[in-house]
Each structure stands twice: as C-alpha cells, then as structure tokens.
Amino acid sequence: MNELTIKRAPVFRPLTRPARYKGAHGGRGSGKSQFFADLMVANAIRKPGFRGLCCREVQKSLKESAKRLIESKIQSHGVGKLFEVQEAQIKTPGGGVIVFAGLQDHTSESIKSYEGFDVAWVEEAQTVSPRSLNLLRPTIRTPGSELWFSWNPRLKTDAVDLMLRGSELPTNAVVIRANWDANPWFPAELEQERLDCLRMQPEQYEHIWNGDYVTVSEGAYFAKALAVAKEEHRIGNLAADPLMTFRAFWDIGGTGAKADACSIWIAQFIGREIRVLDYYEAVGQPLAAHVNWLREQGYGSALCVLPHDGVTHDRVFSVSYDGALKQAGFSVEVIKNQGTGAATQRIEAARRLFPRIWFDAAKCDAGLQALGWYHEKRDEARGIGLGPEHDWSSHGADAFGLMCVAYNEPTTKRPAKRNYAGAGGWMA
C-alpha cells in the first residue's frame, strides 16, 4: 500500500498539490488540523523513508502536540501495521520518522537536526515568533520539501500573517481560508457550541468561529459595545457633513523614541449622533507631523480638543500644544483635569454614549483595534481590578474617552410664548 485516500472538504483541495508553503487559516471546527494530520500520514505511506516534523512555538509536553491526532489517523485509516508508534516519535514505513518539537527551545545550531526532513507542519502558527520562522524556513531544504501552517488568526502583525497574508507571498505559496461552514462533517456538538458563543460571547464570535483577527480582548471595557455597534451596522462607510465642525480629540504623546503615542480621533457631533470619521496615531513625532496630517486629510479647520496637559510645555521644544496649535491657526479647547478617577469617568462616558456613535470602518480601523483591546489590569492572586492597563491601546482609548467627556447633549430651545394682547403685540 503506497497510496492513502483521505476524505477532505473541497476547500482544502488546493493544498493537496505540491507547494513549498501551504497555509490554512480560519476559525474553530474547520477541520484544518484533521486535514494536515491526514496529509502527514498519506505522505508517510506514499514516500518510504518520509521524515516529518510537527512543531509549535512552545511544546511543554507531547500532550500539547499533534501526536495523538496523528496516532488516531493511523488507526482510523487501518494502517497501524505500517507504523511504529513510540513514546516520543512515530516510525514511518521505510525507516522514516515523524517527530514533535517546540521551536522556542531551538538555537541556530540545534535546529539543524531537521535539515533532512521532508515536511514541517507548524500548528497554532499564530503564536510562532519571527525568530522561530527565520530558523525554520531555511532548515527544511531537501528537494521538494514543504512547510505547512495551520492557525486561527490573532493579529495582522503576527509573523505568520505577515508572511502568508501580507502584500507579497513567498514563492510557491498556497494559502486558503477554512471555517466551520466549509466542513461537511461539522459535528452537531460543535454546532451547539457555536450557537452558544454567538449568543453569550458575540464580541468573540467572529474571531473564534470565522477566523477574523482579534478585535476585542476578553474582558475589554468596550467589547460588548463594539459587538453591538457592528451588529447594528454602525461600523461601515461614513460620510462627513461639510457644513458641520470637525473636532479633533487628542491624547498627547511626546517627542522622542521612548515617548508615548499621540492619538487623534476626528469626529462630528450631528444632532444626537457622534460620527467618528478618522483615526491617527504616531509615536515620537514632533507636533508639526500631527498638524501636517490634519491639514493633509482636510481637517485644517478642526476644533482641537486637548486633555488638561495640553497647556504643558513639550520637554524637547519647550512649547505647549495649546499655544502651538493656536499659532498654527487652529481653534483649541482644553478639558480641565478630571482629578482622581479620570480614567473611570472616560470609560463610563464612552459606555453611555456608545449606542449613538458611528464609525468609519476603514479610516478608524487602528483606533477600533485599540478600543477592542483596552482592558483592565488584574491582580489574579487577589481577584481584583487595578484600573486600565497602560499599553499600546490606552492612548487611542484615552483620546476616545476625552471625546465622550467633552460631548454636550444637544438641547432644543422652546420658542418663547408671545402675548399678542399685551404691549408691543400686533393687537395693541
């Protein structure tokens, strides 16, 4: 027996043909791991002496590897007599082997032990570091060798996504997206899990089941609000009103390589709606760079709303944002120091106003990622919250919170009653 017929969903058909790089990304229940495990067994039977590597970034034990899955495939295909399952590896027909390893543990020297391998399958590839990829790719080098990747996308900046979903793919790469709805054998148990997730964790659903990038962190302050906004189609294409004031809400960063990011949201207050049109973020740039962006994007007449430190002088250029922006021709409003609990006030103001906020999906993408990630820092040992985590997301979230604090509910003035019979009236 030198050929094994495997069941595969049509979505995986492109991956059955030879290719240097094969990638399958998507959500839970797609059958990605099942397909690659089948393919590993089929290749071992087809090519006597086949050597395969199953790896992930961190593998503390074989229980975390694909070993049990491959063992089950060997048994289900009825080819157990062709393989020798050992404690740490699987012997394949013709003196070959399938081994399991964590990439993080390897150095440039130790990884050379895999130079003669035919296939390397990287599981949970979203966790693989750039260092590990740079070690692995040139190591698998035998003629006709292949590198396989299966993963549920996490961030656009993850190494595997930059490599296989970026603007330029490696030569001879085939990459497919596979989700639960492309799996003809999607089990009823998982279907109920999927429906429960849609009902109970709507903010996580698109990532878990449809393989979208993570847009909300578990426990993020605005996770549910963002999910509702998406469901209500308040995140999409948004047009500016040329007759209404552009407002630029700032979180001031600083100048220099170690400075915090400067973040700006562009919004218009139209009736009871808040229309968020654009988002900008830059690290270590001078004020002139931020001003240039405002002008280039057509926001040269925007009202700039600054936090209380907008009147503080920049450490490098000894000028306040307030004064410099006024000198550049902008109208400026500075929000007073909210004192103790300022962060909480911004969060609560944002949560209260979220149902009336609309976003331009394309221009605000980076800002929406920040809002989706902004979360509470926890003391897990004591089970208590320690306030907002200060990380890459907090600058965009702070500027967004400033917008919500600065928002004033529009009021409708009632027309004054006229006393037509009194003095000055037309009947006088």
Nearest to 405 by CA among 292, 267, 285: 267
The structure's pTM equals 0.69
* Residues 73, 164 within the same domain: yes
- Position 71, amino acid: E
Q: Is the pLDDT of residue 202 over 90?
A: no
**220-264 pLDDT per residue, tens:** 899 889 989 998 999 999 999 999 999 999 999 766 556 778 999
Domains: count for the chain:
2
* Residues 176, 285 within the same domain: no
Q: Is residue 97 part of a domain?
A: yes
Which residues constitute the domain of residue 98? 10-182
* Residues 173, 286 within the same domain: no
| Helix/strand number for the chain, H first, E second | 12, 17
Give the burial class of 281: count Cβ atoms within 10 A of its Cβ; 0-12 exposed, 13-18 middle, 19 or more buried. buried
375 DSSP assignment: B
Q: Are 59 and 132 in contact (CB under 8 A)?
A: no
Record the tokens describing residue 402, joined without a space. Answer: 């400033």
Q: Is residue 194 part of a domain?
A: no
Q: Is residue 311 part of a domain?
A: yes
Q: Is residue 126 part of a domain?
A: yes
Quick count: other Cβ atoms within 10 Å of Cβ 74? 23
**313-356 pLDDT per residue, tens:** 555 455 789 999 999 999 999 998 877 778 889 999 999 999 99
**123-150 pLDDT per residue, tens:** 999 999 999 999 999 999 999 999 999 9
Averaged pLDDT of the chain? 89
Q: Is residue 211 part of a domain?
A: no
176 DSSP β-pair partners: 24
* Residues 262, 373 within the same domain: yes
